[in-house]
Chain A
Amino acid sequence: MDDLKKRLNQPSVESRQEWVGKLISYLAIILIGGLVGTILVFLTFKGVALFKNNGVSVWHFLSSTDWQPSHHHYGALPMIITSFSVTVLSGIVALPLALVVSIAITEMLPKKIYQFFQPLIELLVGIPSVVYGYLGLTVIVPYLRQLFGGTGFGILAASCVLFLMILPTMTSMTIDSLQAVPQKYRQASAGLGATRWQTISRVIIPSAKSGILTAMVFGMARAFGEALAVQMVIGNTTVIPKNLMESSATLTSVLTTGIGNTVMGTASNNALWSLALILLVMSLAFNLLMRLASKKGAK
């Protein structure tokens, strides 16, 4: 009798497996959380060194327009403005187009086209940024120069290149989120006599909205952080751009250009890390804003 009781009270095979499984997944998430935490702390630590050790005030860093690290002028405003405009511009153009392509593929065109299109998108993700940059330099910049005059280098050229770079990621993620909308919704809408466009605009897009926003966040994050391609077409001049065709510099392009030529621990090197920190903070703010927007819309 006691024996039976013991066996019944023992954890079953299933519950032991559950325990092991939980352990594995918890370990993975702790590892990732730890990694993310380490990077964030590392970056914060490096990023504030300029303000702590080199006596540059945060406000001055954010508001001054003169960036000449070799002469101890650290003003990041031009890069902040340029980074922001480049990202928003490419995002604004890429999002609707990604959405349109995804709708066409999931709602209108036969499945065959999707099967052809999907590997194409995956190929585009794998093209190195240098190749995009070179393409921008030899095709897009000369074209823009003919069209608008000037040198051709600038925010517009960078946005064009970034648009090409983020479109695949955004499209592929948008397609995923549209496909996740249950088939029942479409049937119900059709059953009520709605046209296809009514179904798309009033049923499918609203219910896939959070997924579409995520696609936008990821796409724009890529644009925000891209350096090698942008560096080749934006011109890298640290001035506040007066128009879209004037050569200017983004946070990442200045960071990439300068990091190899400075010595760790010096003010000029710390200033570059501060740029990275600003990038992180801006992308955090942007992310939160998107979340807020999607929450408000969901009500």
Chain B
Amino acid sequence: MRPERVDKIATGVILGLAGLVGLIILSLLIYILAMGIPHISWHFLTTNAESFTAGGGIRDQLFNSLYLVVLTLIVSVPLALCAAIYLSEYAPQNRWTRMLRLAIEVLSSLPSVVVGLFGYLVFVLQFGLDFSLLAGALALTILNLPILTRSCEDALRQVPYLQRQAGLGLGMSKWRVTTKIVLPAALPGIITGAILSAGRIFGEAAALIYTAGQSSSAISYTDWNPFSPTSFLNPMRPAETLAVHIWKVNSEGLVPDARAVSNGSAAVLIITILLFNLVARYVGHRIKQRLTK
């Protein structure tokens, strides 16, 4: 067959299949949104969850999800980024580096239940953090590190070596080259990685059941003192996230409108992730502008 024909056939097949996948993904999202959006109302977003009567909302769960994402990213992004800098800029190409990479990758296949139990035994009991947002954030950090480290490293590696040489040639230290030249150039990739892992945090339930807990204490949104036990900002309080709430309502929910609460929560979660991603991209864009100015 002539190469041109092969090319045409291949193009057709690829585009056709890609279109099919796009269609599956789109219809999945539309299905979830269509099931949930009718249940979303101002009341649903701003009231507390009920234990066994209908009409409960998801106010605390929604806030907890957002707060937990922020906390986890504060812990995991710097850690993953520094590790990625080591792996891409400093690490010698030897057996130890390879082993470390392998170990980090294997970590990503741990079931989240196991990570949750590890978090429970180590963070909650051993470190005495109790069921708390902080314990949850640490457990999620474990879950996130592999993919976050990997995507940061890839982003750093993709910066052409020429740019590093230019910096080094000017007498800058390797660290300065990394932070002033490589990092800003790699920022979009790093942000994509962080957003992907934020999505994973939004959606994670199994690891949180044993760490951040599956019920919230009474919190007040007027108490801005993060050390006060009833403050919404206190990282040491137990907190149920939206994904955990969905799991709980589905598995042992006594509310008669469990289905509606679960569908509505799923739709709210998707919309939240969308908004979060938009904001994150905007912030990333601004940071990049400032760094390269």
Known pairs A21-B179, A104-B14; A125 contacts B206 (CB<8 A): no
| B interface majority secondary structure | helix
Known pairs A123-B270, A196-B11; A227 contacts B176 (CB<8 A): no
Known pairs A39-B142, A196-B7, A256-B206; A128 contacts B176 (CB<8 A): no
For A123, list chain B residues within 8 Å (CB). Answer: 29, 199, 270, 273-274, 277
Judge whether B203 is part of the interface by a CB distance below 8 angstroms. yes
Q: What is the interface residue range for chain A against chain B?
A: 35 or more
CA of A287 to CA of B150, assembled, Å = 15
Judge whether B175 is part of the interface by a CB distance below 8 angstroms. yes
Judge whether B109 is part of the interface by a CB distance below 8 angstroms. yes
CA of A214 to CA of B115, assembled, Å = 22
CA of A121 to CA of B85, assembled, Å = 27
For B4, list chain A residues within 8 Å (CB). Answer: 195
- A28 pairs with B86, CB closer than 8 A: yes
A residues 229-259 in Cβ contact with B at 8 Å: 252, 255-256, 259
B21 to chain A, nearest CB (A): 5
- B113 pairs with A256, CB closer than 8 A: yes
For B199, list chain A residues within 8 Å (CB). Answer: 122-123, 125-126
- A119 pairs with B205, CB closer than 8 A: no
Q: Which chain A residue lies CB-closest to B171?
A: A14
Q: Which chain B residue lies CB-closest to A97?
A: B21
Judge whether A58 is part of the interface by a CB distance below 8 angstroms. no
- A198 pairs with B110, CB closer than 8 A: no
A236 to chain B, nearest CB (A): 14
For A21, list chain B residues within 8 Å (CB). Answer: 173-176, 178-179
Judge whether B52 is part of the interface by a CB distance below 8 angstroms. no
B residues 167-218 in Cβ contact with A at 8 Å: 171-176, 178-179, 189, 192, 195-196, 198-200, 202-206
Judge whether A88 is part of the interface by a CB distance below 8 angstroms. no
B290 to chain A, nearest CB (A): 20
Judge whether B140 is part of the interface by a CB distance below 8 angstroms. no
- A131 pairs with B79, CB closer than 8 A: no
Judge whether A40 is part of the interface by a CB distance below 8 angstroms. yes
- B6 pairs with A197, CB closer than 8 A: yes
B residues 237-293 in Cβ contact with A at 8 Å: 242-243, 246-247, 250-251, 262, 266, 269-270, 273-274, 277-278
CA of A130 to CA of B73, assembled, Å = 23
Pick from A69-77, A150-158, A218-226 the stretch touching chain B: A218-226
- B18 pairs with A218, CB closer than 8 A: no
A residues 27-43 in Cβ contact with B at 8 Å: 27-29, 31-33, 35-40, 42-43
Q: What is the interface residue range for chain B against chain A?
A: 35 or more
Known pairs A39-B107, A104-B14, A276-B114; A128 contacts B246 (CB<8 A): yes
Judge whether A56 is part of the interface by a CB distance below 8 angstroms. no
Judge whether A103 is part of the interface by a CB distance below 8 angstroms. yes
Q: Which chain B residue lies CB-closest to A172?
A: B196
Q: Which chain B residue lies CB-closest to A37?
A: B103
Judge whether A164 is part of the interface by a CB distance below 8 angstroms. yes
- B205 pairs with A228, CB closer than 8 A: yes
B residues 1-45 in Cβ contact with A at 8 Å: 3-4, 6-7, 10-11, 13-15, 17-18, 21-22, 24-26, 28-29, 31-32
A residues 67-93 in Cβ contact with B at 8 Å: none
A residues 84-116 in Cβ contact with B at 8 Å: 97, 100-101, 103-105, 108-109
Known pairs A29-B87, A123-B273, A131-B266; A227 contacts B111 (CB<8 A): yes
Interface string of B76-96 (1 = CB under 8 A from A): 001111110111011100000
- B106 pairs with A280, CB closer than 8 A: yes
- B103 pairs with A130, CB closer than 8 A: no
Judge whether B231 is part of the interface by a CB distance below 8 angstroms. no
Judge whether A127 is part of the interface by a CB distance below 8 angstroms. yes
- A197 pairs with B174, CB closer than 8 A: no
- B270 pairs with A17, CB closer than 8 A: no
CA of A164 to CA of B91, assembled, Å = 36
- B203 pairs with A129, CB closer than 8 A: yes
Judge whether B234 is part of the interface by a CB distance below 8 angstroms. no
A184 to chain B, nearest CB (A): 11
CA of A124 to CA of B273, assembled, Å = 10
27 A–B contacts, CB within 8 A, in A order: A14-B173, A14-B176, A21-B174, A25-B90, A32-B83, A33-B100, A100-B18, A104-B15, A119-B274, A119-B278, A123-B199, A123-B274, A126-B200, A128-B205, A128-B266, A128-B269, A130-B250, A169-B147, A169-B196, A180-B154, A211-B154, A218-B150, A221-B109, A228-B206, A252-B111, A279-B111, A283-B109
* Extra A-B contacts (5), CB below 8 Å, given A119-B278, A180-B158: A28-B81, A29-B83, A100-B14, A122-B196, A256-B111
The 9 closest A-B pairs by CB, nearest first: A21-B175, A28-B82, A126-B199, A221-B109, A104-B18, A18-B173, A195-B7, A283-B109, A125-B199
